[in-house]
Structures are given as structure tokens and as C-alpha cells.
């Protein structure tokens, strides 16, 4: 039977596990005995255990947190002997190195780290990476055959292995995958709302593969197309040129007419002055 200190501590740790589970780890206490916990460890990517699902147990003494728990892994992994106590610094093999500040999350994170190493100890096995990968591939099927696993983790006793609440997406720079129920239907239209104006795909200019400049979008019949350069497009160029030529010719004609009038006026004025100052006979 758990002491009051052990009961309070393990109850608190269960709350923490629910809120902030460690990467690749999940654990729950037995409904009838809080001193017995079942855990699941998922094999991290880039390891021989990738895709593996490993079920095990922690058995705490009534003096917890002042004494360490016994630890064993039930699922064959190629790293530990199934259903045998594992000797490492956080287990009951080493009460002298135990730290009461360590928790369920700390113990299982340490177990995962020890699992990824090659250190040999009581309860461990020496096998190749290929053997470990083979065990990982069969681990979920093996767990489904175990009544203990099905009873304790009914939500994970599915046909295919499910991700744990924390599969370390943040550590790998990825976002968690949404559950199937929250994903939009493949046939449903995808709509995005924004306070800013939305540009549809049909309104976006396509880049010219050779020139690297945007091509103008084709305008619908009768529509008005804005031109930023100020130069008309298409047949309007000829009309503009004709208007310019006409304006230039008209101005030239007026200039020539004014010049002729000024010149003849000057000649007449000069003749009048000469006639007035000429001596009379």
C-alpha cells in the first residue's frame, strides 16, 4: 500500500504527465494500485527503434519518492530482456544513486536514453541494429496480443500504432499532425479568410520563363485594362502617332504664316521710313 507521501507525489506526477508528457513517452498508473505504472515508449526517428512501440512497467515502493522503482520492459525490443528488471542508475538496483527529485517523466526519459546506448547491464541484450529494427516492426502486433496492454491502453490498441501525445514534433521543427476528425474533407473547398484583400490564383501574373518578368493577364472583352506606362496597347499606337503628326503639321503651318507676315511687314515699314527721310526734288 502506498504511503501518503507516495500517493500525493504519484498523483501529482500523473497530472503533470497529462499536461506535459516527455517526448516519445506516455505513462499511466494502475486504477487499483497507484504504485504500479504502465508506460509506452515509441522509438525515435533515426534510431534502430524507429516505429517501434514498447510497453513496460514501473513498480514503485511504498517509500517513494525516497526509494527508486523497479523497471522492466515487456515488449521484445532486442535491447532488454522481456519482463526482466533493468539495472541502471534510476532503478532499484542502485538505491545509493537515487535522487528523490526524480519523477516518472525523469525515469522514463532516462530509460529511453539508456535504451539508445550500447551499455550492457543486468536485463539488457546484445543484438544488431537489424534485429532491433525487426523487433520494432513487429512490436505493435505483439502488444495487441497482450491483454495487459489492451486493458491499460485501449485507445492505443488499434489496428495500426497511434502517435503518443508528444512525438517531439517541436524538437524536430515540425508541427503536430492533426487528428483525422479535425482534418478537412478532401472534397471540400479550402477557404482562407483574411482581413487583407485576397488574390486568387487566376489573378496572379505568371512569370515568363525566359525573361523572368510578369506577363500581363488577358483582359475580358469590354473591360478596361489599366496601363502604368502611359502608352496605349495594340492598334491605339497608330492613332496616337497620326494625332501627333497632325498637331506637328498644324503648328508648322502657323509658324510659316506668321513668319511671312512679319517679313513683309518689316519690308513695308522700312520702305516708309526711307521715303520720309529721302530728299525731295
Looking at the annotation, which residues are catalytic?
87
Q: 508648322: which residue's cell?
A: 252
CA distance 117 to 59: 23
Q: Give the 3-state secondary structure of residue 193.
A: coil
Cβ count within 10 A of residue 281: 3
Sheet holding 36-42, edge to edge: 25-29, 36-42, 53-59, 70-73, 84-85
For the record, the C-alpha cell of 140 comes out as 505493435
Residues 6+ apart with CB under 8 A from 206: 214, 215
Q: How far apart are CA 44 and CA 231, in angstroms?
A: 63
The DSSP 8-state label assigned to residue 81 in this structure reads: -
Amino acid at each position: 500500500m502506498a504511503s501518503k507521501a507516495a500517493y500525493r507525489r504519484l498523483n501529482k506526477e500523473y497530472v503533470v504527465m497529462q499536461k506535459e508528457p516527455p517526448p516519445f513517452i506516455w505513462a499511466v498508473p494502475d486504477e487499483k494500485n497507484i504504485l504500479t505504472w504502465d508506460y509506452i515508449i515509441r522509438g525515435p526517428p533515426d534510431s534502430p527503434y524507429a516505429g517501434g512501440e514498447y510497453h513496460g512497467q514501473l513498480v514503485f515502493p511504498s517509500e517513494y519518492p525516497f526509494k527508486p522503482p523497479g523497471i522492466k520492459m515487456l515488449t521484445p525490443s532486442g535491447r532488454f530482456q522481456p519482463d526482466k528488471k533493468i539495472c541502471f542508475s534510476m532503478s532499484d538496483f542502485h538505491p545509493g544513486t537515487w535522487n528523490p527529485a526524480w519523477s516518472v517523466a525523469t525515469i522514463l526519459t532516462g530509460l529511453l536514453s539508456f535504451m539508445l546506448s550500447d551499455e550492457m547491464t543486468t536485463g539488457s541484450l546484445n543484438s544488431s541494429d537489424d534485429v532491433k529494427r525487426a523487433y520494432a516492426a513487429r512490436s505493435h502486433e505483439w502488444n495487441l496480443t497482450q491483454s495487459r496492454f489492451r486493458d491499460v491502453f485501449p485507445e492505443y490498441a488499434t489496428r495500426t500504432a497511434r502517435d503518443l501525445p508528444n512525438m517531439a514534433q517541436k524538437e524536430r521543427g515540425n508541427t503536430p499532425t492533426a487528428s483525422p476528425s479535425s482534418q478537412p474533407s478532401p472534397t471540400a473547398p479550402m477557404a482562407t479568410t483574411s482581413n487583407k484583400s485576397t488574390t486568387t490564383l487566376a489573378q496572379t501574373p505568371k512569370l515568363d520563363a525566359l525573361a523572368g518578368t510578369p506577363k500581363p493577364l488577358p483582359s475580358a472583352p469590354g473591360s478596361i485594362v489599366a496601363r502604368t506606362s502611359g502608352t496605349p496597347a495594340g492598334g491605339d499606337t497608330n492613332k496616337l502617332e497620326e494625332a501627333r503628326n497632325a498637331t506637328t503639321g498644324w503648328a508648322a503651318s502657323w509658324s510659316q504664316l506668321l513668319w511671312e507676315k512679319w517679313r513683309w511687314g518689316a519690308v513695308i515699314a522700312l520702305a516708309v521710313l526711307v521715303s520720309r527721310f529721302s530728299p525731295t526734288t
